[in-house]
Amino acid sequence: MQRACVSVLCVCICVSVLLHSAISQSHRETYTYTECTDGYHWDPQTEHCKDINECETIPDACKGEMKCFNHYGGYLCLPRSASFIPAPEPSINPTEAFNPCPLGYEPHGDSCVDVDECERKEHDCQPSQECINTLGAFNCQCPRGYSKVGTECIDIDECRYRYCQHRCVNVPGSFSCQCEPGFQLGGNNRSCVDVNECEMGAPCSQRCFNTYGTFMCRCDQGYELGPDGFACNDIDECRSSSYHCQFQCVNEPGKFSCVCPEGYQLVGTRMCQDINECETGEHQCIDTQTCVNIHGRYQCVDTDRCQDPYIHVSDNRCVCPHNKPACRDLPYSVVHRYMTITSERSVPSDIFLIQATNFLTGSLNTFRIRSGDDNRDFYIRQTNNYSAMLVLARAVSGPREYTLDLEMLSGHPLVSQRTSSVLRLSIFVGPYTF
């Protein structure tokens, strides 16, 4: 700034009058003016103009949220949050010596040289300001982050200029930038860059995915995210559905497995299949026995199951000769067969085909259940003259065993006596539906 008179206009006028009187070499007279410019009043004690504190003399000098700050010759209305460094009162020496040189200069021989007010500390800069000497004057430079208004240094609110990407915090003489959660300050101290929480120890128990400004926790297959969003809890698949396994579901951490009952083996991941111990050799039948595989187990039956008066003629076949009196009212032949079915099988269900192998041409054949079906769980459906189908009429549960005598009666127009043949069918009902 350009330096004006020492402090007030009236002093300049007085000095100017005295200077004119000295140069004209006329008689010395001192003229005294007691009128001051606006913002000053005459102080008879110091015989100088003194600044008026308008903030004290004017009621409600500043309105609203503005605050009054006094400065030389006037006052400022600034926000209450404004920070400023007050200027000290200028010192006035009432006994200053007469100086014939312009203001800011002093005589040196026959010429006037510049006065370095900064070096002589004859300036009115604030302690926080830097004094910079100029020809005939000096400047008071405010610290960085402040703007000079009059003689005061007012803080610059840098946050008004949106220097920061996210949040700006103004402080006296400076500012600082802050970032939202999930971000950190970049190298320029203004921009905000995403923080990769996954690389900084995010509390995810299994998998972490970084996103812009935050992160997400995810779980492996077989787990679900807990209420806190971090922990992964095992999913009990066995409780969520009864269709995962055909027999029994076993829950394990992050997965489940299916098991089958004894006598069955797992096929794929959930189905159970009967183990045919007769084919695998995992049975204990002796040479005179036949291994019969049934659902979940096996059974050893005697190879010769013929009972007197029947005689064994071939595998599973017994005959009762007509020449034996005891055979007169008995079926001529008995053939032993074995089969197995599952529990709760849907009904009606065709389960066994009966077919005549030896018969006379022109004979008339009928089929019936001779014995073993006391509860009427089965019935015969004859399909033609030579075959019939055994039908399961009711759903049955195992383990259970039926022994049905399925009889074929044959009659011929040329033969007066009807003949009978029996297929003795042993039906084993397994304990499960598979």
Q: What is the pLDDT of residues 55-88, one digit of tens each?
A: 999 988 898 888 888 877 888 888 877 766 665 5
For residue 361, the model assigns a pLDDT of: 77
- Give the range among 7-11, 240-244, 353-357, 417-421 with minimum mean pLDDT: 7-11
Backbone angles phi, psi at 335, to 5 degrees: -110, 130
Query: Residue 43: pLDDT above 60?
Result: yes
Length of the chain counted residue by residue: 434
Query: Residue 32: pLDDT above 80?
Result: no
Name the band, by pLDDT with cuts 50, 70 and 90, for residue 242.
confident
Give me 382's structure tokens.
Answer: 């004859």
Contacts of 213 (CB under 8 A, 6+ apart): 180, 181, 182, 183, 194
For residue 22, the model assigns a pLDDT of: 30
One-letter amino acid of 136? G
Average pLDDT over residues 321-330: 90
Q: Comparing 168 with 28, which gets the higher pLDDT?
A: 168
Model confidence over 130-189: pLDDT tens digits?
999 999 999 999 999 999 888 888 999 989 988 899 999 999 989 999 999 999 999 999
Which DSSP symbol is given to 14?
H
As a whole number of angstroms, the longest Cα–Cα distance in the chain is 188
3-state helix, strand and coil shares in percent for the chain, rounded to the nearest 5: 10, 40, 50
For residue 177, the model assigns a pLDDT of: 96
Q: What 3-state class would DSSP assign to 267?
A: strand
Rounded Cα gap, residues 46 and 11, in angstroms: 11
Model confidence over 286-298: pLDDT tens digits?
999 999 999 999 9
For residue 90, the model assigns a pLDDT of: 54
Average per-residue pLDDT for the chain: 86
Model confidence over 374-423: pLDDT tens digits?
999 999 999 999 999 999 999 999 999 999 999 999 988 777 778 899 99
Query: Residue 104: pLDDT above 70?
Result: yes
